Amino acid sequence: MVSPISVARPRTDSHPEASATGRSVGPVFRPVPADAPDAIDIRGVTFRYGEQVILDDVDFQVGAREIVGLIGPNGGGKSTLLKLILGLHKPAAGCVRVLGRTPKAAARHIGYVPQFANFVKRFPIRVEDVVLMGRQGRRRQWGPWPRADREAIGAVLEEVGISHLRRRHIDALSGGQLQRVLIARALAAEPQLLLLDEPTASVDSDGERSLFELFNRLANRMSVVVISHDLGFISDYVDRVACLNRKMIVHDTETLTAESIERLYGENVQMIHHHH
Ligand SMILES: Nc1ncnc2c1ncn2[C@@H]1O[C@H](COP(=O)(O)OP(=O)(O)OP(=O)(O)O)[C@@H](O)[C@H]1O
């Protein structure tokens, strides 16, 4: 018999006023309008670096307030797919729509947490300065940050659990703390769609669980796509798992099994390690 990896996808922070969709009520819960566009609608997308086909006729949809895990072997094209959603790459064929618009038009409503290895720590700046950077796209004038922005990031720091680090310089942070700072920076933009590229790569397993709980909570008010190599965690906290290895296969987590993953990739995704 084939055993499912997980069937439990509880929403954290559940509340008696949970909506008809079964979603729990988060801090700034608003019902999903019936006509809300998909957060991501990718159809027939092909992308190449030179001659190398990285994405081959990929379809991928993510609904409003859905949380989707994106898995697949190293080099399978996961980061490339996020870059297409961000409008940093253009497809050779097919169509990418984000929040009902072109990626470029949607960009300021997308929060992006890049792979940790890409972040240079040696800037002489504090946590709050990094997080305030996330407000830049909403800014109307230069000069000191208005009080409203400082208050907004106070709420974000609290939500991400790093209020106590607000005045700390970033080169004094642990990997897990810095990861939370980057998540807070993305949330400071008040995104409708949050993209996270391996946000738990440098975090221990307690930290990883608490980050996945946070992502699950955030999906009460935004759509979330999280890349991870850790199937055990991911399947506990997401609505669906999408498997990408040049081609895309999307599962409901209730039908995803270790055997089906192995069949698709010829190996256990949990055993794939990152080499950055
Ligand atoms: N700028 C680039 N120029 C050429 N090839 C690239 C470039 N960036 C990535 N690639 C190649 O594209 C393929 C897909 O890379 P991508 O980073 O999207 O994979 P991934 O699934 O995110 O992998 P990982 O799990 O290792 O992060 C890889 O073969 C990679 O070497």
Note the pLDDT of residue 148. Answer: 84
Task: Tell me which of 60, 70, 78, 85 to substitute to probe ligand 1's pocket, judged by most ligand atoms within 8 Å of the beta carbon.
Answer: 78
pLDDT digits (tens, 9 = 90+) for 169-179: 998 888 889 99
Classified as helix, coil or strand, 52 is strand
For ligand 1, atom 26: residue with the closest CA: 74
Q: Whole-model pTM?
A: 0.85
Question: Is 67:226 a contact under the CB 8 Å cutoff?
Answer: yes
46 CA to centre of ligand 1 in angstroms: 14
pLDDT at position 124: 79
Task: Report the complex ipTM.
Answer: 0.96
Which tokens is 172 given? 């004094």
Segments in the chain below pLDDT 50:
1-9, 14-28, 268-276
Question: What is the reported pLDDT for 145?
Answer: 78
Ligand 1 centroid–CA 33 distance in Å is: 36
Do the strands 223-227 and 193-197 form a parallel or antiparallel pair, or are they unpaired?
A: parallel
Q: What is the pLDDT of residue 265?
A: 63
pLDDT at site 174: 87
Amino acid sitting at position 89: H
CA of residue 81 to ligand 1 center, whole Å:
10
H/E stretch holding 224 reads: strand 223-227
What does the alpha-carbon distance between residue 228 and residue 73 come to, in Å, rounded to a whole number?
10
Q: How many A from CA of 77 to the centre of ligand 1?
A: 6
Measured distance CA(43)–CA(91) in Å, rounded? 10
Top mutation candidate among 47, 48, 49, 60 for ligand 1, by most atoms within 8 Å of CB: 49
Q: pLDDT at position 26, please?
A: 38
Phi, psi (degrees; rounded to nearest 5) at 69:
-90, 140
- CA-to-CA distance for 42 and 95, rounded, in angstroms? 6
Q: Which residues pair with 193 in a beta bridge?
A: 110, 223
Distance 67 CA to ligand 1 centre (A): 23
Which amino acid residue places its CA nearest to atom 24 of ligand 1? 74
Q: Which atom of ligand 1 is nearest to the CA of 72?
A: 21
Q: Kindly tell me the burial class for residue 176, based on how many C-beta atoms sit within 10 Å of its own C-beta (0-12, 13-18, 19 or more).
A: middle
Give the per-residue pLDDT at 274.
40
Give the residue from 108, 98, 91, 71 showing the smallest Cα distance to 196.
71
Report the phi/psi class of residue 131: left, alpha or beta, with left for phi > 0 and alpha for psi in -120 to 50: alpha
Across the beta sheet with 110-113, what order do the strands follow? Answer: 110-113, 193-197, 223-227, 67-71, 240-245, 247-252
